[in-house]
Amino acid sequence: MNITKKGWQKNAAIVMVLLALVGYFILFFQRGTCLYGGFKRKISNEKGFEYHYKYLGSKVDIVVDNTTNQDREISVKYILDGKYENEYKVMGDDLKKVNLGEEVKVFSNYKLLFSGVVHEYGNKPIAVNSQTGGEKLPLFYPMDMSSYGSNVDVRLVITTALGYDVTFRGSFIFLFIGLVLIGLGYLWYRYPSTNFRGTMIPIYVKNPEPTEAYFKAQKISSIIVCVIGIVLMILALFL
């Protein structure tokens, strides 16, 4: 079998184009980068751009406290996977008193934690952006990465170009490795090699008269490599 350098270059180019298209697809729909299992989001402001981190699996309790003069103060307490908690007290925008039905924005270090509408349910937690109260809501909110450890859920939130949120579980490194294995397996299947060249050690072996069994075994091996790549890509979505 004649193995030409031109054939290798052509198929390698095809694989690289496919990988580039997949990478572009991920960047186009993700609009951010995966960071320790969280989602790093780029937001434009009057100074340029700033980055926020959205972590999953968080709970936020919001309570309306009635003071002696009937003014209402918002008390916000949030917990990260039961391992970290903090509390903020604000009075609506610019620390003003808030009323029922009014939209309130909660900031931390000039960063917006979340916004919601005030509903009073005694001393019970109230709902944010919901008509029902007395419940804990799983919320995504930005937070400075340096303020706590990286014990977060492994899920990654991806905001598509159409504005929808899609949640993937697992690691993108599995997806990348799977794509590489599928590409290499395709090359080995399409153009089985008669040579073996060591990259880490100076070894070069040439089989001058390869048999059909040799090529058949190599094709079977390439199929196995492709299957492993597909399995890794599937695991990237469910782990």
pTM over 0.75: no
Q: Exposed, middle or buried by CB within 10 Å (0-12, 13-18, 19+), for 219?
A: middle
Percentage with pLDDT > 70 across the chain: 19
List the chain domain ranges. 5-31+169-238, 52-153
Write the pLDDT tens digit of every residue in 57-85: 334 444 444 443 444 444 444 444 444 44
Q: What's the mean pLDDT when you consider all of the chain?
A: 53
Which spans in the chain are helix H?
A: 5-30, 172-190, 212-238
Question: Residue 70: which region, alpha, beta or left (left: phi > 0; alpha: psi -120 to 50)?
Answer: left
Tokens 């934690």 identify what position? 113
